[in-house]
Amino acid sequence: MFSEKIKLFKCLVIASHNSGKVTEIRELLVPLGLKIVAADELDLPEPEETESTFSGNAKLKAEAAAIASKLPSLADDSGLIVDALNGRPGIYSARWAGPSKDFYLAMNRVNNALKKLDFEKKTSVSRSASFFCSLALAWPDGITKVFEGSVKGTVCWPPRGNMGFGYDPFFMPSGYNKTFGEVNQDWKHSISHRSIAFAKFQNYVDDA
């Protein structure tokens, strides 16, 4: 059983150095009743994300943490996909925020790219977008499982709300009139890309 296997290790590593992401993942893991430790708490290095897909980067991070810590490790690679920008920023979502991780800068960069398209095409291009999450669970023995989730919506300008993190104030899920930055975490967890991936992870936990 998964639960018995976890008990042998006594804890699970969150292979991330993003404090907002770590907080959100911790909250989603609460039902499992596991001891959770973040990568920076173990002084684990942050590997360079060299893969070309969300799943590839999630696996890379989870496997690096599992090897270094000798503990089961969970990594998330997620980002914003803007249709009119051919999927950008995509896997480069965090990098669009620059070295200082300034996501207002990143959101402004996306908005400016859309405005440039508006000007070039002499019409307003679609603001349709989606959030995508790939979640990888890596065991020290080399086995890795991947779970994915996505949610469709639109990007808005100016950003709205000061809750959440990253692009949350910029993204409005389809069927709602609030951004992820304007709602509490419980509401966000009910529909987010990350919660969808975690539901698949939970099913794996229950069935393993």
Q: What's the rounded mean pLDDT across residues 133-159?
A: 95
Q: What percent of the chain has pLDDT over 70?
A: 95
Q: Which H/E stretch holds residue 147?
A: strand 144-155
Beta bridge partners of 129: 82, 153
Domain ranges of the chain: 2-207
Q: What's the rounded mean pLDDT across residues 29-43?
A: 85
pLDDT at 11: 85
Cis peptide before 173 (omega within 30 of 0): no
Tell whether the model's pLDDT for residue 8 goes beyond 90: no
Q: Of 43, 76, 77, 206, which one is the catalytic site residue?
A: 77
pLDDT band at 7 (very low <50, low <70, confident <90, very high): low
Q: What's the rounded mean pLDDT across residues 50-59?
A: 96
Mean residue pLDDT across the chain: 91
CATH of domain 2-207: 3.90.950.10
Tell me which residue of 114, 130, 26, 156 sits closest to 78, measured CA to CA: 130
Contact 147, 204 (CB under 8 A): yes
Tell whether the model's pLDDT for residue 133 goes beyond 90: yes
pLDDT at 203: 84
Neighbours of 53 (CB within 10 A): 13
Q: Is 77 designated active site?
A: yes
Please indicate, yes or no, whether the overall pTM of this predicted structure exceeds 0.75.
Answer: yes
| Helix and strand totals (H; E) in the chain | 6, 6
Of 48 and 85, more confident = 85
